[in-house]
Structure 1
Amino acid sequence: MSRLAQYLEAAERDNTRRSYASAIRHFEIEWKGLLPSTADAISRYLADHAATLAINTLRQRLAALSRWHTDQGFADPTKSSLVRQVLKGIRSVHAVPEKRARPLELAVLQQIDQWLDAAISNAQQSGDRSALLRHTRNRSLLLLGFWRGFRSDELVNLRVENTEVTPGQGMACYLGRSKGDRQLQGRTFQCPALSRLCPVTAFNAWIDLAGLMEGPLFRKIDRWGHVAEESLHANSLIPLLRSLFAEAGVESPEEYSSHSMRRGFAGWARASGWDIKELMEYVGWKDVKSAMRYLDASGATLQARFELGLTAVAPAGTQQPPPLLLLRK
């Protein structure tokens, strides 16, 4: 591969490249579409899959087709008014509520951590190195994923040599690229050391046990206790977490995904009084709309929320009602 090709490949995330290639294959091979295409053909493609594909999937397919035409020097048919109108009609006819992962609440996180603590002790006593490595890795992945609000691709792209621990204070994780970093400037994510459920302690335990000095932080482990050179794949995190949650006795583990850690942290921070601006800065959201997708509305009733506000201004019993005025006859 030439140096130019290396730079071009580095400019785009692996997940984006794979998903775009898959979308083009679907259009050309499965649907038998021709490239370059026309607005009419792409509109028919959307209509043929409107009932079976989610609206976000259709948008992703359009983005891939748009990219292909632009890269090949052709006019982009996906920007036509016909395609926009068809997509608008599909949204109207096939409107469905957005499926979102269940947030990982702090109580559930503690339940899983306690189970992992017991599982690690049992593996140590029985000499089961494979189980010991797996549980220790999962504990580090879970706690760091929660307290940093990391996406799945961010977790699997963490590297040992780019992570620095300051004893008693916390850790700093550098990522050269992430979904929110459109300019590929890289960013260092700080994470504090905590008195319990500590991500720093869990990180140290994992790299010490696995003997990691460099390379991917979270790796595959086979049944014989061999730690792989390559990292976990982002798509493997959902089944990994659901299996872990099921083992720990969490109710309805199938409702959780890798986004559950990010949503759970956002909910915890909101309940703990974090300002939306500092939450956006910490997690890495660029706009309020992105942040609000992760924040659930308060579960309190309308009356309870009003009464809470009244109590904060004037606690009950501190004010006397005004005297009644006697009307003259």
Structure 2
Amino acid sequence: MDKNNAGLTLRNEQAPSTQQTNHEELQKYLRAATADNTRKTYQSAIRQFEKWGGRLPTERETVVRYLLDKASALNPRTLSLHLTAISQWHYYQGFADPVRDPVVRKTLEGITRTHARPKQKAKALRLEHIAHMTTYLRALPKSKQTSRDLALLLVGFFGAFRRSELVAIQLEHLVWEPEGVLVRLPRSKTDQSGSGLMRALPASKNSSCCPVVALKGWIKIANLTDGHLFRRVNRWGAVGDRPLAAGTVNERLKAIGEACGFDFVPDMSSHSLRRGLSTSAARERVDFALIKKQGGWRSDSTVWEYIEEGQQFDENAANILLEKMARLVSVEN
């Protein structure tokens, strides 16, 4: 039984037994049916359960004891993810699923009510933050790392890319047009079927803040002709062949934010770019459909959440009353 794949492959006796090649072909397609990040997350959850002392297959009592033992140590959302991984393992291995038991579900519900914590959200970068970061990078001595970071910042923000999408961009994904550049990714987090993601980056009249100009500058200074767009640059300025690690995107943003004197650096992450585009567009009254399209969001509720965040001071009953009160006070004075 394959515990490392968290139940995302079938047991040998469940696979076609005619030829080994058929079995290998089946496993290949089963693995392709689940995103790599999801599989890794489930694998990690299974390892944590086994490290605690759990054994697979398991039963209701063991799962309940696991929940009780981890109730105050892990976020309820993390515990819920662990249960999903355990459930998936049992389902794909053909065993009875203990997670479906009402006692397990009720225990998790009680833990969630007792220990639930607000979900931490990345700080949304405003246009003025991006302008400050851009000015800072352009003021530095010209280097390959600075050119890469500038392109990463502007492309990430105006393209509303996830960090996994940013580091996956390759030169062949870029389509240059007179109006700007199109980024065509064959796959993304919300497009696992491979129908493709397309994001348009318009050229700006002001070259200092233009993502297209920054992108061309990075490609030229790094002498890139094919392969991954955003790559590692070592301390001597040599550009590597391997793509930039997803975690490095966070590290570079935090480093730039700290250099700019931002007091919210601990709350910054790559999602600050994506969240920043949507909330900044909302403040400028950009149409809902355009915001959703640029970010590639599938859920309307997610987009509305960003719009409400961006307009929470403008679309505010207290704001209207404050303006009215200010007029009344001025009349009395």
Q: Percent identity?
A: 36
1:62 aligned partner:
83
- Secondary structure of the 1:294 match is helix
Normalising by structure 1, report the TM-score.
0.83
* Compared CA separation, residues 212 and 275, structure 1 to 2 (3 A): same
Pairs within 5 Å for 1:1-329: 5-28=27-50, 30-119=51-140, 122-123=141-142, 132-167=143-178, 169-196=179-206, 197-295=209-307, 296=309, 298-300=312-314, 301-305=316-320
Match of 1:321 in 2: none
Shift of the 94–79 alpha-carbon distance from structure 1 to 2, 3 Å rule, reads: same
Tell me if the contact between 2:147 and 2:217 (Cα under 8 Å) persists in the aligned partners: yes
Greater shift in the superposed pair: 49-58 or 154-163 = 49-58
AA in 2 matched with 1:191: L
Report Cα offsets for 1:262-305 as digits up to 9, x if no partner.
11111111111123233222211112222244341512452434
Structure 1 runs, 4 residues or longer, greater than 6 Å off: none
Change (3 A) 1:257 1:304: same
Runs of 5+ unmatched residues, structure 2: 1-20, 328-333
SS in 1 for 2:200: strand
Structure 1 residues 229-238 or 109-118, which shifts more? 229-238
Deviation of the 1:249 alpha carbon? 2.7
C-alpha distance in 2 between matches for 1:46 and 1:64: 14
TM-score, normalised by the number of residues in structure 2: 0.83
**Matched letter for residue 45 of structure 2:** A
Q: Structure 2: how far apart are the matches of 1:159 and 1:78?
A: 41
* Alignment partner, residue 313 of structure 1: none
Query: 1: distance between equivalents of 2:173 and 2:296?
Result: 18
Q: After TM superposition, give the deviation of residue 208 of structure 1 in Å.
A: 1.1
Query: Residues of 2 paired with 1:274 and 1:40: CA distance?
Result: 53
Counterpart CA distance in 1 for 2:103 and 2:62 is 11
Indicate how the Cα distance of structure 1 residues 236 and 45 shifts in structure 2: closer, same or farther if over 3 A, else same.
farther
Which residue identity does 1:23 align to in structure 2?
Answer: A
**Is the deviation greater in 81-90 or in 177-186?**
177-186
**Change in 2 beyond 3 A, CA 1:232/1:8:** farther
Please list every run of 5 or more consecutive structure 1 residues that lacks an aligned counterpart in the other structure: 124-131, 311-315, 317-329
| Offset, 1:183 | 3.0
User: Does the residue aligned with 1:190 lie in a helix, a strand or coil?
Assistant: strand
Residues 13 and 161 of structure 1: CA distance in aligned 2, closer, same or farther (over 3 Å): same
Residues 40, 208 of structure 1: alpha-carbon distance in 2 compared, 3 angstrom cutoff: same
Letter in 1 for 2:52: W
Shift of 1:76: 2.4
CA–CA distance in 2 between the matches of 1:227 and 1:3? 37
User: Aligned to 2:291, what secondary structure does the other structure show?
Assistant: helix
Question: How far apart, in 2, do the equivalents of 1:77 and 1:182 lie?
Answer: 29
What does residue 7 of structure 2 align with?
none
Query: Residues 202 and 4 (structure 1 numbering): CA distance in 2 closer, same or farther, change over 3 Å?
Result: farther
